Homo-oligomer: A and B are copies of this chain.
């Protein structure tokens, strides 16, 4: 395919006419397709239907004999803690298993830090003149929303193929004690799909921070969500932080939201003994305990990490063709045009696409006008503002492969049309 970026004006105008025809043909189909969120499809949810049958009226006791129907057990069932200890590669004593949402655990952790402080710090963050977080971007919009909602300033740093740009991160956190945290989705990252390299993990664990109570919020949301048979390996951040003498720097999060049921799974967090003691002190005020029956259900259904790994192969079998469809259409429609680049993730839920600078918003709006809904442009950056207006997050899990094909063809037309318009006005 000819690079649009090297076409002359007449060829560009001819291209525009052709693209307009294609666009109007799509519009006539009155599509209604949604690729906005990383939401599992019904076929994926069906994989866990056994969860609905696996507890019965004579099965409600944990291994230690405790009655999972009643109050108590703030840190979760021992067998659920064991499962998540294997999942997060920590000791069971370092794990708290909660309700159905790891986002809630992250939000509450930061709320409590604002209201009560963090171990190692000098009191509630709310009493400080400013609280800031480092936000590698593009990143996860719901992380950024928590900061914005709670009045935490966000400092953007670049994402590279190995993780956050550590030169930027190290300089920032060493020089500013109001920087209290960094958001990370370290494996099959949202949205770029990369896995942090061992060197990046090591530097995060070792770096000097001006704030003594600095925290890495390690949202390991996609740790077993492989799309290939040769999974990425992520270095163990908590082990690295302990070895570096910074055991309290790290808070790990995970969930089964994209393993069992998105809305009725389990979430867990992990960290050093000092962190877990602090979190439990807050939880003791907030609740009398999590839903232990749902924890027992998950333990009965998955049994152990081997059970989860086997289960994830079934998810991959459903998701792979969907990701392949996106890749096929983008390659066919946009390969060699010079107006878009995109990720080829080895796991996770997203494809990250970059247009020419200044085109993403127009592309998303144009696709929406023709009935294809994408995550709004800018969402992957703090405050919803992509400084180069070029990043678009594609979430192919929910629609069928056929719908994905249609949607991506339309998106490709929109990208070319917006790019042509930009090139014509240059």
- A291 touches which one: B60, B99, B111, B114 (CB < 8 A)? B99
Q: Which residues of B contact A50 (CB under 8 A)?
A: 57
Closest to A292 in B: B263
How does the 8 Å CB contact mask read for A157-175 relative to B, with 1 for contact and 0 for none? 0000000000000000000
Cross-chain contact B115 with A69 (CB below 8 angstroms): no
Cross-chain contact A285 with B52 (CB below 8 angstroms): no
How does the 8 Å CB contact mask read for A285-296 relative to B, with 1 for contact and 0 for none? 111111111100
The segment from A35-43, A217-225, A343-351, A381-389 found at the interface with B is A35-43
Cross-chain contact B290 with A100 (CB below 8 angstroms): yes
- A111 touches which one: B42, B56, B111 (CB < 8 A)? B111
**Interface: A4 (CB within 8 A):** no
- A69 touches which one: B107, B263, B291 (CB < 8 A)? B263
How does the 8 Å CB contact mask read for A122-156 relative to B, with 1 for contact and 0 for none? 00001000000000000000100110011100000
**Interface: A375 (CB within 8 A):** no
Cross-chain contact B70 with A149 (CB below 8 angstroms): no
CA distance A290 to B263 in the complex (A): 7
Cross-chain contact A69 with B100 (CB below 8 angstroms): no
Cross-chain contact B263 with A40 (CB below 8 angstroms): no
**Interface: A25 (CB within 8 A):** no
Cross-chain contact A103 with B261 (CB below 8 angstroms): no
Shortest A176–chain B CB gap in Å is 22
Binding site of A, secondary structure by majority: helix, strand, loop or mixed? loop
Cross-chain contact B286 with A151 (CB below 8 angstroms): no
Cross-chain contact B115 with A263 (CB below 8 angstroms): no
Shortest A69–chain B CB gap in Å is 4
Closest to A265 in B: B291
- A263 touches which one: B70, B126, B151, B286 (CB < 8 A)? B70
Cross-chain contact A291 with B100 (CB below 8 angstroms): yes
Cross-chain contact A107 with B286 (CB below 8 angstroms): yes
Residue with the greatest number of chain B CB neighbours at <10 A, chosen from A48, A59, A116, A293: A293
CA distance A58 to B40 in the complex (A): 18
**Interface: A264 (CB within 8 A):** yes
Cross-chain contact B285 with A146 (CB below 8 angstroms): yes
Shortest A48–chain B CB gap in Å is 8
Q: Which residues of B contact A287 (CB under 8 A)?
A: 100-101, 103-104, 107
CA distance A114 to B40 in the complex (A): 35
Cross-chain contact A151 with B39 (CB below 8 angstroms): no
Shortest A104–chain B CB gap in Å is 5
CA distance A12 to B87 in the complex (A): 65
Shortest A261–chain B CB gap in Å is 4
Closest to A48 in B: B69
- A60 touches which one: B37, B52, B293 (CB < 8 A)? B52
Closest to A70 in B: B262
Q: Which residues of B contact A103 (CB under 8 A)?
A: 286-288
How does the 8 Å CB contact mask read for A15-53 relative to B, with 1 for contact and 0 for none? 000000000000000000000010110100100111011
Q: Which residues of B contact A262 (CB under 8 A)?
A: 69-71, 288
Closest to A150 in B: B115
CA distance A72 to B262 in the complex (A): 9
Cross-chain contact A149 with B282 (CB below 8 angstroms): yes
Shortest A398–chain B CB gap in Å is 9
Q: Which residues of B contact A257 (CB under 8 A)?
A: 71, 288
Cross-chain contact B67 with A42 (CB below 8 angstroms): yes
Query: Which residues 280-329 of A have a CB within 8 angstroms of B?
Result: 282, 285-294
Q: A100-B291, A114-B126 are in contact. List 13 more A-B contacts (CB 8 A).
A: A39-B71, A50-B57, A70-B261, A71-B262, A101-B286, A101-B288, A111-B111, A115-B150, A115-B151, A116-B149, A146-B285, A263-B290, A264-B292
15 contacts between A and B (CB under 8 A): A37-B71, A39-B71, A42-B70, A52-B60, A68-B264, A69-B263, A99-B100, A100-B290, A101-B288, A107-B285, A116-B150, A126-B126, A146-B285, A262-B288, A294-B294
